[in-house]
Amino acid sequence: MKQHIETSLSHIAKFAPFAEQTGASHFPIYNTGTFDLKKQDDSNGNKIYDYTRSDNPTREMLENLFTHVENGAGCVCTHTGIASVALLFETTLKANSHILVEADCYGGTFRLLKIFKEKYNVTVHFANFLHFDKMEEVLKNNPIDLVLCESPTNPGLKIIDLEKVANLSHKYNSLFAVDNSLATFISQRPLDFGADFSLFSTTKYISGHGAVVAGAIVASTQELSNQIHYYANANGRSQNPMDVYLISLGIPTLKIRMKEHQESSIFIAKFLEKQDYITKVTHPALESHPQYLLAQKQMAYVPGLFCADFTSVELAEKFIENTKIFGEKCSFGSPDSRIEIPAKISHATFSKEELAAIGIASSTVRFSIGLENVEDLIEDIKQALK
């Protein structure tokens, strides 16, 4: 029987190996490095486990769940979010490869691309994925192995038409991957739009508690799944069982948390739009957003993250210094609300010119709205600017 996604998330134990044998409501933690081969029976086709880096029943539960909810063929859970990006590159790129990336990308991805460029002579092409003619020009004139974007992008919050990008990528025999960290699979499933990989940081909304760093990558075909598993094992990218357990605790509440993050962030974004000290608010759920209609069509929920441009750098810094509830922290998707200046923290590796190209100024503040009462957050904003 086909179930809605929130039903699957509420019964995650059924995705664990041996679930039917125990009937447990949650899954066990196999916190072991090795397994005794002599004590396992594969006569009925049961998987044989030997070493946790290669396979572990606890991690397999989460990988089975993510494969299911993303409508994929296989998944690898990684020890950090950026490790899922690294695993993607290790699987799809080689020395002298070409990659096409949305210019507005996560700072950690940007830094990793520089490493691949310097160490493996990978040619990195950046483009604005809202301009399909520019994308096609790059694809037509270069042997692009991989196309990568986020949607929404971080921190510029552009909404990319995933189906169009998938079709364009495949037209030129390029693989297409989507970093789905901001939207999560509760909002959109990139593989359904034609992507070959959906990857995400489970550090953020999926775990929801800010207590662990982790990631995942889901492949659309069995062949690609076999490849990511091979490289994860070879390069030691796999997540440990204890972190899998911590991630699992937040999963059943993902939908209701995303709804709360969305509603609170819209409320605060609309408040900031009316303030004289703000010149621009960028939030995909506001009608002022250039891709508002696409966001409504492509996503079930928008994330609780948005950007606001202050009238000056000094005012933005004063605001951050004086808030009492908002913490100056990187990352997003936690119960606590966070603010940062991307140019200073998450995107410090970008030059001023590179930031300007994606619409981020030195006075841009990124808000990640948590689960606090919105009235308390509004009062904190007001008192910080007195």
Q: Write the pLDDT tens digit of every residue in 290-320.
A: 999 999 999 999 999 999 999 999 999 999 9
Please list, in sequence order, all residues whose beta carbon lies within 8 angstroms of the beta carbon of residue 181, skipping any fewer than 6 positions away: 81, 106, 150, 154, 199, 200, 201, 204, 205
- Is residue 221 within a helix (H) or strand (E), and if so which, with residue range? none
On the CB side of 153, how many CA atoms lie within 13 Å of its CA? 28
For 5-252, CATH number? Answer: 3.40.640.10
β-strands 364-368, 338-340: how paired?
antiparallel
- Strand, coil or helix: 200: strand
β-strands 144-150, 175-179: how paired?
parallel
Question: What pLDDT is attached to residue 1?
Answer: 61
Q: What is the reported pTM?
A: 0.95
Q: Which two tokens stand for residue 204?
A: 């953020």
Q: Which two tokens stand for residue 140?
A: 């037509």
Contacts by residues 52-55 (CB-CB < 8 Å, ≥ 24 positions apart): 52/238, 52/240, 52/241, 53/233, 53/236, 53/238, 54/233, 54/238
- For residue range 153-194, what is the model confidence (pLDDT) as tens digits? 999 999 999 999 999 999 999 999 999 999 999 999 999 999
Class of domain 254-384: alpha beta
Rounded-to-integer distance, Cα 308 and Cα 12, Å = 37
Report DSSP letters for 74-107, one per residue: EEEEESSHHHHHHHHHHHH--TT-EEEEESS--H
- Strand, coil or helix: 25: coil
Q: Is the pLDDT of residue 344 over 90?
A: no
Place 62 in a pLDDT band, splitting at 50, 70 and 90: very high
Q: Which two tokens stand for residue 344?
A: 């200073």
Q: Where are the domains of the chain?
A: 5-252, 254-384
Buried b (16+ CB within 10 A) or exposed e, 262-283: bebbbebbebbeeeeebeebbb
